[in-house]
Amino acid sequence: MNIFKIYYDWYEGEHEETLVGKEVEKEQFLTDLIKAKDFAESMTGVKIDWNDKEPYVGRGYVVECLPEYYEQIIWYLTNKLGYIDCCFDEDISYKVDDNYYEEKPHIGLEEKEETIKWTPIDVTLTNDKV
């Protein structure tokens, strides 16, 4: 699976980014992204009934602004072309450590806070069962 980052920056510091994944090469993703862009452009100015309970994404919008245009692109990639919306938490990592002072390696969880917190999860789980 390849993961691609799509983002926009708008005025007043508004920023949005999405990671989408699919088993495609970069060239195919670029082709699909152009299809999604063309779809979003076709939705520009299409009026919808705001009383309808269906979401507007994929059906058009009244205001032509970058965040809504971006949402249409993401909607098309995930709903029409089968991309997966991926999440990445930069504050959490899992580390395999050779654990020099112990007999066997451990897998641990690193969480970013003010400092990095290391918790060896395989030792913690074993000790909790005792």
Better pLDDT: 36 or 105: 36
Distance in angstroms (rounded) separating the CA atoms of residues 74 and 118: 36
Residues of the chain with CATH 3.30.70: 2-86
pLDDT in tens, 108-129: 888 877 666 677 776 555 555 5
Confidence of residue 130 (pLDDT cuts 50, 70, 90): very low
Distance in angstroms (rounded) separating the CA atoms of residues 128 and 62: 56
Distance in angstroms (rounded) separating the CA atoms of residues 45 and 130: 64
Written out in words, the top-level CATH class of the domain with range 2-86 is alpha beta
Is the pTM above the cut of 0.85?
Answer: no
pLDDT in tens, 27-73: 999 999 999 999 888 877 766 665 666 555 666 555 567 888 898 89
Is residue 7 over pLDDT 80? yes
Q: What is the DSSP string of the chain?
A: -EEEEEEEE-GGG-EEEEEEEES--HHHHHHHHHHHHHHHHHHBT----TTSSS-STTT-BSS--HHHHHHHHHHIIIIIS--EEE---TTEEEEEE--TTSSS-EEEEEEESSSEEEEEHHHHHHHHH-
The one-letter amino acid code at 7 reads Y
In degrees and rounded to multiples of 5, residue 122 shows phi and psi of -75, -30
Distance in angstroms (rounded) separating the CA atoms of residues 123 and 2: 33
